[in-house]
Amino acid sequence: MDILRYARDIGLRHPSETDVVARLQTACAELEVEHACFASKVPGNDTLVGFATYSEQWRKHYIDKEFHLIDPTLQKMMHAMGPVDWERLRHFEGYDPVFREAHDFQIPEIGMSIPIRGPFGERSVLTLATRTTPQLWAAQKRSIMQEVQRVAARIHDEVMLSGQIMLSLDLPSLSTREIEILQWIAAGKAQQDVADILNISNRTVEVHLRSVRNKLGAVSTAQAVARAIGMHLIYPL
């Protein structure tokens, strides 16, 4: 099931981790918008992790109400191919209840969501919200669109490389042997080669790989390798 089951707000859980929020604030200044939010779903884990410049009160309310499950600016955008203005999301279920309550927290209703797909299958969304008129926003979007996409990709890379998302998730627990076998597979060794190197049977290697695939929610060993690398459980060679 691809729907995000629950959310974690790093800004709430780890107040000392302010570098990503500071980067979002810089992006807001560069793009001349009021608020930005970065959310990411990592392969093999159904947790949605987010950073935002919104008030702590709205972030807490958003998570307590489980709006991440219905908010089209996130849910629909995780699978989009390019930036989408929020005006186009108004007809989706979930838009009205989310933005009706957002209004009480002075959250702007004008904005856009920018999807990002990472090299290991991770999906992220950068959302921008601004207090302006639809006419001024239309002109502003045209002037900043290229920069918006560059900023989104840059923030995604910075967050992933920092490891903060990985450290904040309950990552699958692989055994020492499972990691050892998967690392050899990542190095290009065939299953029988791994068995010979570790002096174990081919069947034992397969049993461990099956366990790894189950733990990482992967349909193939190649996908398991990619997800393990993305989660920093093993390293590319």
Q: Looking at residues 60-83, what average pLDDT do you find?
A: 88
Give the tens place of pLDDT for each residue, 176-207.
999 999 999 999 999 999 999 999 999 999 99
**Average pLDDT of the segment spanning 89-95:** 92
pLDDT exceeds 60 at position 170: no
The confidence score (pLDDT) of residue 25 equals 93
Look up residue 193 and give its two tokens. Answer: 């080669």
Give per-residue pLDDT as tens, 16-71. Answer: 346 788 889 999 999 999 999 998 876 555 667 788 999 989 988 998 898 988 99
Percent of the chain with pLDDT over 90: 51
Q: Report the pLDDT value the prediction gives residue 12, as an integer from 0 to 100.
A: 41
> Is pLDDT of 2 > 70?
no
Quick one: pLDDT at residue 182? Answer: 95
CA-CA-CA-CA torsion sign (100, 106, 111, 117): negative
- Tell whether the model's pLDDT for residue 15 goes beyond 50: no
Dist. CA 204–CA 195, nearest whole Å: 8
> Which pLDDT belongs to residue 173?
79
Buried b (16+ CB within 10 A) or exposed e, 178-193: bebbbbbbbeebebee
Residue 8 pLDDT more than 90? no
Q: Give the pLDDT confidence score for residue 168 in this predicted structure.
A: 52
pLDDT level of residue 117 (50, 70, 90 thresholds): confident
Q: What is the mean pLDDT of residues 203-217?
A: 92
> Which is more confidently placed, 202 or 119?
202
